[in-house]
């Protein structure tokens, strides 16, 4: 091998080393894409000023999870975990100091925490720049001017990937029962929690992810704690 | 795209003053260490980076040239809590910062012309910055062009047909409308060939 070729090869190796060093996009687990998001009502809580959530004592969690689906579409969302989710919400509310009202018809609770769930399909088209550049270099070779690389440009979908996933969202909505306006059909949601992630994975993992997400919603809302 | 006009002007200026003497073309593998501006977003060092560069000696002590680089900083932050106004979000974040410095540079070379050449120098130009945060199933991205200065010190050692080179470069990019200032230290190792 001539000195020129040796240098060219080393140059390619150096470039490869630089471009292919680890890039943490792989090994993403279901847990890695779970999020918990909460939002409070500024009329009920202002840090350092007031906290009207502390005025509430009793709660009720409806025993049905509402499945939010489009009109005319059949409900294909599993109800396998509905009871588990409801129990997790109840236990969290009890843990942070609220009292469950067992006879809400006779004694309306201060707050209702309703649970609903929705899913959506997503298709993702992706490509990884490293491979595109890698093949460009290998096929063309450094220091040469000819070579068929048309099928190996990084934006060629041949080297891209696509995948489909179902995103699921559990929605927790806290309602101030005293402020419900039945005539205007207005239900004031004073706190909301969302647990969002990709649907799937082993059953034990799903339960663990659900409880972790629900726990996070409450744990990151310390203003709710008694 | 004012930064691009600026860079083009600089490269044109470089090309007009390069005449005779040795010319090099080469590449370096680049390791990045995040400093102020980057390290409040990503704290871990980067092993993913490369530079393509050209140099031309305009006399026995001075060389001018260019660098096109790429440094990727990335970090996974597990269960990061983010609060904005009355919203709190907890989730694992994947943070990426792709930096593409495009610099014109000048070097002062020590030593004899055909021997080992330690050097000091500086580059100036722009750095394209793509900062992306993936959290959950969502992705947020900001882009910007930083006006950049990059002092450096290094060495060029001739070996047969070409040379091996190593340098330590401090890159500073000013704040843009969307992104904070950036700064990082890079260790660059590679080779030049040419004459």
ipTM, interface predicted TM-score of the complex: 0.73
CA distance B139 to B78: 16
Helix (H, G, I), strand (E, B) or coil at A98: coil
What are the distances in angstroms from CA A114 to CA A23, A24, A117, B138? Answer: 41, 38, 10, 25
Model confidence pLDDT, tens digit, residues A19-58:
554 455 556 788 888 999 999 999 999 999 999 999 999 9
Fold type of domain A28-128+161-224? Double Stranded RNA Binding Domain (3.30.160)
Answer yes or no: do A11 and B70 touch at CB < 8 A: no
Which residue bears the tokens 């919203």? Answer: B87
Q: What are the boundaries of each domain within chain A?
A: 28-128+161-224
Which residue bears the tokens 């330590």? Answer: B168
C-beta neighbour count of B163 within 10 angstroms? 22
pLDDT computed for residue A11 by the predictor: 60
Out of A11, A34, A220, name the one closest to residue B81 (CB).
Answer: A220
pLDDT computed for residue A211 by the predictor: 95
Q: Which residues of A touch B (CB under 8 A)?
A: 3-4, 6-7, 10-11, 14-15, 17-25, 31-42, 45, 122, 165, 167, 196-198, 216, 220-221
Q: Which residue has the higher pLDDT, B65 or A15?
A: B65
pLDDT at B159 over 50: yes
Model confidence pLDDT, tens digit, residues A136-158:
443 443 333 333 333 333 344 44
In chain B, pLDDT over 70 holds for what percent of residues? Answer: 89
pLDDT computed for residue A1 by the predictor: 43
pLDDT at B187 over 80: yes
For chain A, list the strands marked E by DSSP. Answer: 35-40, 45-46, 50-51, 58-60, 66-67, 99-100, 111-126, 161-176, 189-198
pLDDT computed for residue A5 by the predictor: 61
Tens-digit pLDDT profile for chain A (226 aa)?
Answer: 455 566 566 566 555 555 554 455 556 788 888 999 999 999 999 999 999 999 999 999 999 999 988 888 888 888 889 999 999 999 999 999 999 999 998 999 999 999 999 888 777 665 444 433 444 443 443 333 333 333 333 344 444 556 677 788 999 999 999 998 888 888 889 999 999 988 887 777 899 999 999 999 999 999 999 9
Fold type of domain B2-193? Porin (2.40.160)
Answer yes or no: do A34 and B81 touch at CB < 8 A: no
Name the CA radius of gyration of chain A, rounded. Answer: 27
Model confidence pLDDT, tens digit, residues B98-144:
999 999 999 999 999 889 999 999 999 999 999 999 888 888 899 99
CA distance A109 to A57: 8
């Amino acid at each position: 091998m001539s000195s020129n070729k040796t240098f060219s090869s080393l140059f390619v190796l150096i470039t490869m080393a630089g471009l292919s060093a680890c890039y943490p996009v792989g090994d993403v687990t279901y847990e890695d894409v779970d999020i918990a998001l909460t939002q409070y009502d500024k009329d009920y809580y202002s840090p350092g000023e007031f906290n009207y959530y502390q005025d509430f004592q009793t709660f009720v969690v409806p025993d049905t999870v509402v499945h939010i689906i489009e009109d005319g579409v059949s409900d294909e969302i599993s109800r396998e975990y509905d009871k588990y989710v409801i129990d997790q919400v109840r236990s969290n509310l009890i843990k942070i100091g609220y009292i469950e009202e067992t006879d809400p018809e006779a004694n309306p609770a201060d707050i209702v925490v309703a649970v609903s769930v929705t899913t959506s399909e997503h298709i993702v088209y992706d490509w990884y720049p490293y491979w595109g550049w890698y093949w460009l270099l290998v096929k063309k070779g450094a220091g040469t001017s000819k070579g068929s690389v048309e099928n190996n440009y990084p934006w060629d979908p041949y080297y891209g990937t696509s995948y489909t996933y179902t995103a699921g969202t559990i929605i927790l909505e806290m309602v101030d029962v005293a402020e419900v306006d039945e005539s205007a059909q207005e239900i004031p949601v004073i706190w909301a929690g969302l647990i969002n992630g990709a649907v799937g994975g082993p059953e034990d993992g799903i339960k663990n992810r659900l409880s972790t997400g629900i726990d996070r919603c409450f744990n990151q809302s310390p203003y709710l704690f008694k | 795209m004012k930064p691009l006009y600026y860079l083009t002007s600089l490269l044109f200026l470089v090309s007009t003053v390069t005449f005779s003497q040795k010319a090099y073309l080469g590449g370096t593998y680049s390791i990045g260490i995040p400093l102020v501006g980057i390290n409040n977003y990503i704290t871990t060092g980067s092993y993913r980076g490369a530079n393509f560069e050209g140099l031309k000696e305009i006399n026995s002590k001075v060389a001018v040239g260019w660098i096109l680089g790429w440094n990727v900083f990335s970090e996974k932050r597990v269960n990061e809590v983010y609060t904005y106004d009355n919203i709190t979000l907890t989730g694992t974040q994947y943070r990426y910062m792709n930096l593409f410095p495009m610099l014109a540079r000048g070097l002062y070379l020590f030593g004899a012309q055909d021997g080992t050449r330690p050097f000091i120098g500086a580059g100036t130009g722009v750095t394209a910055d793509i900062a992306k945060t993936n959290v959950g199933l969502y992705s947020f991205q900001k882009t910007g062009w930083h006006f950049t200065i990059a002092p450096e010190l290094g060495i060029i050692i001739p070996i047969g047909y070409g040379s091996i080179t190593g340098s330590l470069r401090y890159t500073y990019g000013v704040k843009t409308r969307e992104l904070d200032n950036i700064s990082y230290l890079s260790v660059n190792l590679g080779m030049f060939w040419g004459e």
